[in-house]
Structure 1
């Protein structure tokens, strides 16, 4: 009897045996995923992990039983459902057959080659039976490479047939658009696919190479006796050990050159040299990484060594007689690197220790570098060019883009709209010019002067602006020491020279005196006193003129009243002829001055029978202009013709 319970008993109802010790009743997994799709699979073990017996049905038998329908007594049997249709673009998606091939191209016009071999790849796309031919691109080949035949169905013959994957095999020739391709091999996927479809593949062939390309690929043999110097040992010994020297590059002989500080690095691992510039803040230079990149520097070249082209080829050991080594660098000496002379004035502590241990050098006294004082170039101010003011000419010398002169931010707002006005005359040898009068305006906000000529009727001279607002320099003023006219220089009777013309100040506005008195500390005492005397005398003249005008008006009014009274009295004397009286007086006045002697005037009145009365005598007294002179014209007004 078997040790397992229930083994050997027939599987009949009532004969089933249940193991009371069994605790696991899980079922084996029959579902799985492959490439993202759910698939069914046979169970590996039974319920609870029991082994499956071989007499169980397989998956194929189970599928057949599931599709079997019971046979009907009457009527035909039902057919099983056909399998699901899968289109070609789904079944063969991204499945490509790849073949390695080549074609031969003749080269008729080259003496070095007769034919050329082109290696290509032929791709066959199973989803739509299309093909493409691609030649791998080789750099600097001077050949038109890349896609030779675009992807499409390639015609096979003139009967409208196209190439199929059944027509492709290894070791055969296929002709596409007049060019014959030799297929030599394929990839593993293509081999498996064709063999699965019952196609017997030919053995692979070797890919031929272009003879011209292979000839040029052959390395040129150079038999050079190897050196006994072990570069690997030098690298392992001196790796990351660098000698540092502090040097100065004197470039003052070139245009815009100067003395530049540099650092020279000598790498002991491979005997290379690097030069770096030391930059300072605001030195006006772009911080380039290196002045001379890290490389081996030649010290002496082989004489009469002809190389072509030397301007583009790198220097080799055959052209250099001696390279720079650590022995060629020392503190206090100059060394020339690629045409630049560097003076080494100091080094770091590691470099001192290396030279002391290696070469026994102990003298490392740093050299004091004294910078050459820059030559001070005197700034020459050009003469005034006549445009604008003198400060405008200076701005053209101070910067490439001239800027307007700075204004006095305190003086300008305080003296805005404050103008001192003077009356000036032109000093000239011509009498006509001396009679001209001008108005000179001095603007206190910016110390500018303008001159205006008032228009005089019937003078024959057109007035208007004589000088626009500008600063006027004094005689003897230079560009280095410019002196301009100030309010203290403008006094009554002083002479001002304006661009070659001389003007004399004859009068001033009362505002000038008020301004000078309010700012007496800014003006000399003599200037202020002369201005006060001028205005005092002018006021006295004005007052005298006013009194004379008032007397004249009173006399005229009295004269008019007496003439009216005399005319009333003379109406009683009808024998008087007024016309004869006027002609007699005019004939006696030979020079036409309008004044006659009193005695002559009296005798003339008696000869003309002019009556005498108190009113008439009073008129004669009023017409007298002196002790013995009488203005007869005012007297004749009483005798109208």
Structure 2
């Protein structure tokens, strides 16, 4: 044994933990050896010596302990406790780990209740309080918490903090996991808790230990009891307060006081508090009514149904008050002699009566008025602003008239939030327009009219040709454009152009200039079709054509027979757009606009020999946007690089080699977009990409980007990316495709669905 220092306390323990001898201030080693030898001889047991350096010590912190867990030395702050929970495995068949590691964050949760005696209330002798009992498996501690209930009037939360709790009438034994189960009663510090339920983890854990867990026990207040017919049920205000606190029924009504001198109809708001069956009534005064009343028409109180005359004069026993069953739309309340009629209620009140009483009819009642009399505040004249003087905008001038302090005009922020530009979704409708006047030089001028949906403003720009004598650019600045022939210097703002007025074929008069809309970009056409504008709604247009053919005698039969020869001989279901448009104009005359023709042609599109991939066109538009943003224009050098890499002259390159060349020529494309572009390019039998198709894909000068068709957008994307206004070729190509394409004649007749007319006429 090593040298024992002075002032060391000692404990001599047996193997079962019993203390045989203790002392302090050991002087030398011989004294300790003599004590141990004598104890072994007398008790015939193995003993152990425990030393303690406690004399004069002031800091009692936990000493760090090294231990071995899974063959790894670890520094721990706890000694290994004894696992007092029965195990499913025999000893040496499970890993030997401390309890505080095996059951870390493993908690058993039980639901229980206890009774609290009430001495200050006559209505009840006790109340039941629901609690949650938590048993921590790592150290056998217990915590009791009561869930908080709003406005309960009780001190809730943690009732018993986390600690080990002694068994009743025992100072050595503690509550263990075997003592907690459904149906048992446990006593914690004099309070008896009845366990009624547990969570799923606790049930599974106890079942694995071989402990049967009974079914949950219902709460005492949920047990059905037969009412005692001999006893009169007592009022339970405390229970009613807990169930209906902050639940208020709100009705609207009026009190007609026109029989008295200078009497009017008073608008009232009735509040019924379900927590204590009280009623308060407020009078609603319109702004600037010139009437100043009291804060309350009726202070919050129990409103009696009727007050006999003798009780009013001399006093008497209280009478019954109004209940929720007495309130409904059309009911009349007797408010101390004043008859208050209920005319309407709020949505919460309607839902309460629908659930509680099964009412479904909530028709508001109008306020009755006699001739020559009106409700208080209803005869107020509408405020009229002075006429606009021409300075600033209408909104700015009106705001300065409403207040002395200058303020900026209020804009529709929600509309701006939903219709502002988001990525490629610009929320801007672009139309090509021509100037209509008697000057022949203006007939060649080309304009772009933009309609901004975020604030209903219009901007006009001119696309001029070189050496035309006209300066291009901004023609009219972005602003609200008002309808022609309206009075400007009036108090109210005159009507302006809206998005419903923007359609191909319409004429707009903007600042005394007449413009005709002759074309629209893909985004505008697609946006109007998706949002079902009147001029871009296919079902409405087809119904108009259908009604016109039905109204004419043999109209449908002659229409089909006349233009059946116009279909292609080698493709029976296709018809040229020119013939299709001529056929519709003959039967519709002036009933269809240019935009409606355009919508029908786009819907029944059937190009011959053209199978454009919508995904390819979309990716090509995105590639063009990125190349334009990165200012890349080096197609010639890229073409030389492709020829140099194609040593065999086959005109094809592998995908990985082509990707290296594109990165070497510094195309400003990210990895994902480049992979998408390589996927849509044409390939040969060996999956090598055709170099000519790549150069055609990147040729944006002779073959500009044209946005996707209507069918393509239904499959790929909802809106097309915007294109710069300076690209006049976009409008030219759009008009060419509309006038020189083909229409699926069979699909048009099938959707028209008028074949029964041919049978009837025959």
Please report the TM-score for the alignment, with normalisation by the length of structure 1. Answer: 0.25
Structure showing greater Rg: 1
Higher RCO (Cα < 8 Å, 6 or more apart): 2
